[in-house]
Structures are given as structure tokens and as C-alpha cells.
Amino acid sequence: MHPVQDHDPERDLLVTRVFNVPRRLIWRAWTEPELLMKWFTPAPWQMVDCSIDLRPGGALRWTMRSPQGEESTHEACYLEVVASERLVWTDALGAGFRPSLQPFIAVSVRLDDDNGATRQTCHVLHKGAATRQAHLDKGFEQGWGACLDQLADVVRGIGT
């Protein structure tokens, strides 16, 4: 049993979605900047810049822009990279595993075959129950739901 598969309902949030495409397309959508930019930021915000160094210790950096032109830039660090199977990253670390200024979550994305489709299971880990609740209060379910709708559109667009 992999450690991040142990779900702790007091501190974690769990989001499962089935996409009607093979795992490798979901993997591409998570790991190619030009695809990630199309879905990883909930509209009406847009991702306007993205770089991916896809290896443990490598950084994911992205910049989001609001309709009013406000921008915010974020950095995370990849922890586990197993193509078409598992991607783990955290914003508690940045490039080269450096501790970050504003740690918040770690995310494990697992992809499983599901009758020709792909079941994606995202575990979102927090340091404690209060942080988990704060994440819910600032719109976790709506934000992730909107992003995953966008992800479904993106993978439909790239075909099989």
C-alpha cells in the first residue's frame, strides 16, 4: 500500500472522476504545459504562463490572470512521477525540494483503467483539519469541479 493512498477523512479531500479516454491522455493533460494551461485554472481566471520540470524535485510554475488583469504566480514541486499512473506534487516545497514560503497542500493523482475509460483519484492532503476546512470554505469543490470539467473538454479535444 502506497502511503498517500491512505485516506484520512479528517485532513484530506478526495475527488474522483471518470474520463472517457485512455490514461495516457489524462497524463498528457497533467504534464504538458500547453494542455495544463487550458484546464488547471477555473474560468474566468486563465492560466497565462506555465513551466514543468517533470521529475522528483523539479518545479511546476504557473501564473493565473483574472479578467481584470490581476496576476498571481505559484510554484510547486513534483514528488513522484510514474507515467500514466501516478503524479504527486506539493506546494510545501519548490524547485529542488526547497521549503516554500506558503505551504498548503500535497496532491496525489492516481490514474486507473475503468472499462476502457480512466478513473482519476485525487487525494488532497492538508496538515490538519482546520486547513482542510479552510480549503472547503474558499471553494474547493466548486474550483476543482470547474477545473475537471475543463479537463474533460481538453482531453476530448486532443482525441485518442
Q: Which residues are near a copy of itself by CB under 8 A? A: 2-4, 6, 11, 53, 56-59, 79-80, 88, 90, 92-93, 95-101, 103-106, 108, 125-128, 131
Nearest residue (CB) to a copy of itself, 22 versus 103: 103
Q: How far is the CB of 93 from a copy of itself (least distance, A)?
A: 6
CA angle 36, 41, 46 (to 5 degrees): 95
d(CA 160, CA 56): 28
Nearest residue (CB) to a copy of itself, 42 versus 58: 58
Q: How far is the CB of 33 from a copy of itself (least distance, A)?
A: 18
Nearest residue (CB) to a copy of itself, 18 versus 82: 82
Q: How far is the CB of 1 from a copy of itself (least distance, A)?
A: 10
d(CA 158, CA 124): 27
Contact between 118 and 112 under an 8 Å Cβ cutoff? The reply is yes
Nearest Cα to Cα of residue 76 among 94, 55, 49: 94
Nearest residue (CB) to a copy of itself, 11 versus 65: 11
DSSP count for the chain of H helices, then E strands: 4, 7
